[in-house]
């Protein structure tokens, strides 16, 4: 079989090559050689993006599962499988990212035997571990169906209610706890982002991101695999996204209002620029767009609004984890290229794995044969076609 070199394949190979080089440096020369982290900036891009954004972008899984199974909104059923796949991959890649960032990753299992219940990090660790297991079981039916194993599917169906409730409970806990991590640093994190409401804001934004991510990945899969786009589903998600964005925007406003910061946030400053960028991308632009019925009913409009809000919430997480510390530290942290390359490699792995899963598993069951046919007649590159909602990294 001849593999054709296409643009995206070359990009993929370059990214993987640079990433593997950085991986080698990371494990042969240590964190100091591979990153610009230092005693002044002990947490860098890998925590800010790979962990915080990764988990946030994988929130689509619990949002969609919650809508379809908890609230029994069956019309959204078609997006469950891709959302669960995205979430499962997201959490797996989050763990991969953690193996890069932890100084002593070979002791990661210590989490299970030396427990400190006072630590937010402990709670996040346990929840992520447990939730990844839940996602494994939510994802498993795809594999079982592929190999026509009916009995285990029945067992999983029997405990599905438990999986649903457990998954949402664990997501509530660790999505919010990622915000709680920063509560212990009131003197370090800039007041624009340090607030006792951090856990609520992190959880609220995870729901908005989950909805936006589902719109993003559905549209992308439609484009990549030539699938029929289920517009009514997207429209419904878009409406929910608009509501979620409003709720989040109001929470942010309330927070600044109660801490009497409204005067400060409109004054230009280094932090204010980043805050404006965040608020514009997360709220102002997507809310304005989605307020038009025309946009809410158009696939392109929904897609664009979702992507912009995703960028906004990514900016938010980076502000909380990186920008918000710069004034306190008195030093700018700019990630080294090797840090970027590891992050890019993990994202690329997510895209590739999504593609492999969609190709071989009944993620989009009704149109499976169509996809296969298309793949056979027109050998599209795996990576090129799959510009998909990978989530985490």
Partner 1 sequence: MSKALLYDATMCIGCKQCEVACAEQNKLPYDDKVAAESVQSEHKYTVVMTKNDKFMRRLCMHCEHPACASACPVGAFHKTKEGPVVYDVWKCIGCRYCMVACAFAQPKYEWHSLNPRVRKCIMCPDRVVAGKQTACAEICPTGATKFGDRDDLIKEAQDRIRQNPSTYLPRIYGLHEVGGTCVLILSSVNVEEYGYPASNKIGDTPMPEYTGRVMEKIPDFIPVWSLVLGGIYWISHRRQEVAAAETAERVEDEGNRSKG
Residue entry with tokens 């490699």: 345
265 binds partner 1 (CB under 8 A): no
What's the rounded Cα separation, in Å, for the pair 14 and 340?
A: 13
Residue 226 burial by CB count (10 A; 0-12/13-18/19+): exposed, middle or buried?
middle
To the nearest whole angstrom, how small is the minimum distance from the Cβ of residue 264 to partner 1?
A: 16
For partner 1, the binding residues in 147-166 under the rule CB under 8 A are: 161, 164-165
To the nearest whole angstrom, how small is the minimum distance from the Cβ of residue 10 to partner 1?
A: 33
Count residues near partner 1 (CB under 8 A): 55
Among 37, 87, 240, 344, binds partner 1 (CB under 8 A): 37
To the nearest whole angstrom, how small is the minimum distance from the Cβ of residue 227 to partner 1?
A: 28
334 binds partner 1 (CB under 8 A): no
260 binds partner 1 (CB under 8 A): no
Stretch that binds partner 1, among 68-76, 206-214, 247-255, 362-370 (CB under 8 A): 68-76
183 binds partner 1 (CB under 8 A): yes
7 binds partner 1 (CB under 8 A): no
> Which of 155, 252, 133 minimizes the C-alpha distance to 202?
252
319 binds partner 1 (CB under 8 A): no
To the nearest whole angstrom, how small is the minimum distance from the Cβ of residue 190 to partner 1?
A: 12
294 binds partner 1 (CB under 8 A): no
To the nearest whole angstrom, how small is the minimum distance from the Cβ of residue 181 to partner 1?
A: 7
Stretch that binds partner 1, among 84-92, 174-182, 236-244, 370-378 (CB under 8 A): 174-182
Among 4, 5, 72, 378, binds partner 1 (CB under 8 A): 72
Ramachandran assignment for 72, one of left (phi > 0), alpha (psi -120 to 50 degrees), beta (any other): left
Residue 217 burial by CB count (10 A; 0-12/13-18/19+): exposed, middle or buried?
buried
3-state helix/strand/coil string of the chain? CCCCCCHHHHHHHHHHHHHHHHHHHHHHHCHHHHCCCCCCCCCCHHHHHHHHHHHHHCCHHHHHHHHHHHCCCHHHHHHHHHHHHHHHHHHHHHHHHHHHHCCCHHHCCHHHHCCCCCCHHHHHHHHHHHHHHHHHHHHHHHHHHHCCCHHHHHHHHHCHHHHHHHHHHHHHHHHHHHHHHHHHCCCCCCCCCCCCCHHHHHHHHHHHHHHHHHHHHHHHHHHHHCCCCCHHHHHHHHHHHHHHHHHHHHHHHHHHHHCCCHHHHCCCCHHHHHHHHHHHHHHHHHHHHHCCHHHHCCHHHHHHHHHHHHHHHHHHHHHHHHHHHHHHHCCCCCCCHHHHHHHHHHHHHHHHHHHHHHHHCCCCHHHHHHHHHHHHHCCCCHHHHCCCCCCCC
Stretch that binds partner 1, among 8-16, 65-73, 250-258, 377-385 (CB under 8 A): 65-73
To the nearest whole angstrom, how small is the minimum distance from the Cβ of residue 62 to partner 1?
A: 11
Which one, 199 or 299, has the nearer CB to partner 1? Answer: 199
Contact 180/86 with Cβ under 8 angstroms? Answer: no
For partner 1, the binding residues in 188-207 under the rule CB under 8 A are: 188, 196, 199
Stretch that binds partner 1, among 7-15, 67-75, 138-146, 238-246 (CB under 8 A): 67-75
Which one, 196 or 365, has the nearer CB to partner 1? Answer: 196
320 binds partner 1 (CB under 8 A): no
Among 69, 192, 274, 303, binds partner 1 (CB under 8 A): 69
To the nearest whole angstrom, how small is the minimum distance from the Cβ of residue 368 to partner 1?
A: 27
Among 186, 232, 365, 379, binds partner 1 (CB under 8 A): 186
42 binds partner 1 (CB under 8 A): yes
340 binds partner 1 (CB under 8 A): no
Applying CB under 8 A, the residues found at the interface with partner 1 are: 27-33, 37-40, 42-43, 69-72, 101-105, 107-108, 110-111, 114-123, 125, 161, 164-165, 168-169, 172-173, 177, 180-181, 183-188, 196, 199
């Amino acid at each position: 079989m001849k593999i054709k070199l296409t643009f995206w394949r070359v990009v993929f190979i370059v990214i993987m090559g640079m990433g593997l080089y950085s991986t080698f440096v990371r494990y042969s020369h240590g964190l100091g050689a591979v990153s610009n982290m230092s005693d002044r900036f002990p947490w860098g891009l890998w925590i800010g993006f790979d962990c915080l954004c990764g988990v946030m972008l994988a929130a689509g899984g619990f949002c969609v599962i919650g809508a379809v199974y908890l609230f029994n909104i069956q019309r959204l059923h078609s997006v469950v499988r891709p959302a669960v796949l995205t979430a499962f991959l997201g959490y797996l890649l989050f763990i991969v990212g953690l193996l890069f960032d932890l100084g002593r990753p070979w002791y990661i299992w210590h989490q299970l035997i030396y427990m400190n219940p006072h630590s937010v990090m402990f709670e996040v660790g346990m929840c992520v571990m447990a939730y990844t297991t839940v996602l494994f079981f939510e994802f498993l039916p795809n594999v079982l169906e592929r190999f026509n194993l009916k009995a285990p599917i029945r067992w999983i169906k029997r405990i599905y209610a438990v999986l649903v409730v457990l998954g949402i409970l664990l997501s509530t806990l660790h999505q919010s706890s990622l915000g709680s991590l920063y509560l212990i640093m009131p003197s370090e994190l800039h007041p624009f982002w340090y607030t006792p409401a951090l856990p609520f804001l992190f959880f609220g934004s995870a729901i908005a991101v989950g909805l936006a991510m589902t719109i993003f990945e559905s549209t992308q899969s439609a484009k990549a695999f030539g699938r029929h786009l289920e517009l009514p589903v997207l429209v419904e998600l878009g409406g929910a996204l608009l509501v979620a964005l409003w709720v989040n925007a109001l929470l942010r406003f309330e927070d600044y209002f109660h801490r009497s910061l409204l005067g400060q946030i409109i004054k230009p400053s280094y932090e204010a620029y980043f805050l404006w960028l965040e608020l514009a991308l997360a709220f102002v632009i997507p809310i304005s767009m989605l307020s038009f019925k025309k946009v809410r009913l158009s696939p392109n409009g929904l897609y664009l609004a979702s992507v912009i809000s995703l960028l906004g919430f990514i900016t938010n997480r980076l502000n909380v984890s990186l920008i918000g510390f710069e004034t306190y530290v008195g030093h700018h942290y700019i990630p080294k290229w090797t840090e970027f390359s590891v992050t890019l490699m993990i994202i690329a792995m997510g895209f590739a794995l999504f593609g492999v899963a969609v190709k071989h598993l009944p993620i989009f069951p009704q149109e499976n044969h169509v996809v296969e046919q298309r793949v056979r007649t027109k050998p599209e590159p795996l990576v090129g076609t799959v510009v998909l909602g990978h989530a985490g990294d």
